[in-house]
Chain A
Amino acid sequence: MNTYYIKRLVSMIITLWLIITGTFFLMHSVPGSPFNEERRTNEAVQKNLEAYYNLDKPLMVQYGNYLKQLVQGDLGPSIKKSSQTVNDMLGRGFPVSFELGFYTLLVAIISGIILGVIAALRHNGFIDYLAMSIAVIGISVPNFVMATLLIQQLAVNFPIFPVATWQSPKHMVLPILALATGPMAIIARLTRSSMLEVLTQDYIKTAKAKGLSPVKIVFKHALRNALLPVVTVLGSLAASILTGTFVIEKIFAIPGMGKYFVDSINNRDYPVIMGTTIFYSAILIFMLLLVDLAYGFLDPRIKLGKKEAK
Chain B
Amino acid sequence: MEKILQVKDLHVSFSTYGGEVKAVRGVSFDLHEGETLAIVGESGCGKSVTSQTIMKLIPNPPGKITGGEILFKGKDLIKLKEPEMRKVRGANISMIFQDPMTALNPTLTIGDQIMEGIKQHEHLSNDQAKQVALEMLNLVGIPNPEIRLKQYPHQFSGGMRQRIVIAMALVCRPDVLIADEPTTALDVTIQAQILELFRDIQKKTGVSIILITHDLGVVAQVADRIAVMYAGRIVEIGSRREIFYSPQHPYTKGLLKSVPRLDMEKAELIPIPGTPPDLFLPPVGCAFAARCPYAMEVCDKVYPFKSQLTNQHSVDCWLQDERAQKLVSKY
Which residues of A does B touch, CB under 8 Å? 201-203, 205-213, 216, 220-221, 224-225, 298-301, 310
Q: Report the count of interface residues on B (CB-CB < 8 A).
A: 29
Closest to B154 in A: A301
Interface contact B102-A201, CB-CB below 8 Å: yes
Give bound CA distance, A269 to B152, whole Å.
55
Chain A, interface SS category: helix
Interface contact B168-A210, CB-CB below 8 Å: yes
Closest to A227 in B: B107
Interface contact A205-B168, CB-CB below 8 Å: no
Closest chain-B Cβ to A128's Cβ sits at a distance in Å of 13
Q: Per-residue CB proximity of B86-117 to A under 8 Å, as 1/0? A: 11111100110111001111111000000011
Interface contact B121-A211, CB-CB below 8 Å: yes
Interface contact B107-A224, CB-CB below 8 Å: yes
Closest chain-B Cβ to A228's Cβ sits at a distance in Å of 8
**Chain B, 163-217, CB within 8 A of any chain A CB:** 165, 168-169
Residues of A within 8 A of B104 (CB): 203, 206
Q: Is B120 an interface residue (CB 8 A)?
A: yes
* CB within 8 Å for A212 and B116 given contacts A202-B99, A205-B97: yes
Closest chain-A Cβ to B233's Cβ sits at a distance in Å of 25
Give 6 nearest A-B pairs by CB, closest first.
A211-B89, A211-B90, A210-B90, A202-B102, A209-B95, A210-B117
Known interface pairs A203-B102, A206-B168, A220-B116; 18 further A-B residue pairs with C-beta atoms within 8 A, sorted by A's residue number: A202-B102, A203-B106, A206-B95, A206-B105, A208-B57, A209-B55, A209-B89, A209-B169, A210-B116, A210-B168, A211-B88, A211-B91, A212-B90, A224-B107, A225-B105, A225-B106, A299-B106, A301-B154
Give bound CA distance, A213 to B84, whole Å.
11
19 contacts between A and B (CB under 8 A): A202-B97, A202-B98, A202-B103, A205-B97, A206-B95, A206-B104, A206-B168, A207-B116, A209-B57, A209-B95, A210-B89, A211-B86, A211-B90, A216-B116, A220-B116, A225-B105, A225-B107, A300-B107, A301-B106
Closest chain-B Cβ to A171's Cβ sits at a distance in Å of 40
Residues of A within 8 A of B108 (CB): 220-221
Give bound CA distance, A193 to B32, whole Å.
43
* CB within 8 Å for A298 and B97 given contacts A210-B89, A210-B117, A212-B116: no
Residues of A within 8 A of B90 (CB): 209-212
Give bound CA distance, A220 to B99, whole Å.
21
Interface contact A210-B152, CB-CB below 8 Å: no
Closest chain-A Cβ to B175's Cβ sits at a distance in Å of 14
Residues of B within 8 A of A220 (CB): 108, 116
Residues of A within 8 A of B86 (CB): 211-213
Give bound CA distance, A203 to B99, whole Å.
10
Closest chain-A Cβ to B178's Cβ sits at a distance in Å of 8
Interface contact A205-B57, CB-CB below 8 Å: yes
Interface contact A211-B107, CB-CB below 8 Å: no
* CB within 8 Å for A207 and B105 given contacts A212-B116, A300-B152: yes
